[in-house]
Amino acid sequence: MAGIILELDGVKKRYPVYGRLGHFLPPVNFISAMKDVSFRLREGETYGIVGESGSGKTTTGRVIAGLTGADGGRVLYRGEDMLKSSKKAWKRFRRDIQFIFQDPFSSLDPRERAGEILEESLIIQRIGGTGDRRKMILGAYAGVHRDRPFMRLPPRQVRQVRG
């Protein structure tokens, strides 16, 4: 059986609700976005978070990625509690995870070309030189059965063209 790579154990997240004077006074209430969320993801598995609007899907993803703090519980990546980890550990972790948004094309800049968008994340993570990055991107395109590179197309055209 494959090892557990990501585990959420009793993760909680609440957001404060303030009265008319806003942040000048303590919160009048709290809204729970996550209540005791727990699951395990094993190597080779794909895990989708599905639910109604306002059910905590985005908050769960943000807590996993460290973009929002948790109020309790543990987020374990390969056994390491990420909620107690260093900035260096978070940087390594973020290289290994990926968000897939409901409409990913609305989050992409239509003025940029698909190759530029893909290369940007490799540059940020300091992965490879220009030639190496180009080979990686072409390999990714080949991996989704495209018969020609789409590096110069805007994101919406990449989606519309069948390879």
Q: 71 is in which domain, residue-wise?
A: 4-95
pLDDT: which is higher, 139 or 63: 63
DSSP state of 68: S
Residues 72 and 21 in one domain: yes
Assess whether 70 and 150 both reside in one domain.
no
- The residue whose two tokens read 């639910």 is 51
- Residue 87's identity, in one-letter code, is K
Report pTM.
0.64
> What are the tokens at 18?
């303030």
pLDDT score of 36 more than 90: yes
CB distance 33 to 13 below 8 Å: yes
In a domain, 132, yes or no: yes
52-61 confidence digits (pLDDT tens): 888 888 899 9
- The answer on pLDDT for 103 being more than 60 is yes
pLDDT for the residue 163: 46
Write down which residue in 54, 75, 95 finishes a domain.
Answer: 95
Q: What is the CATH number of the domain that holds 39?
A: 3.40.50.300
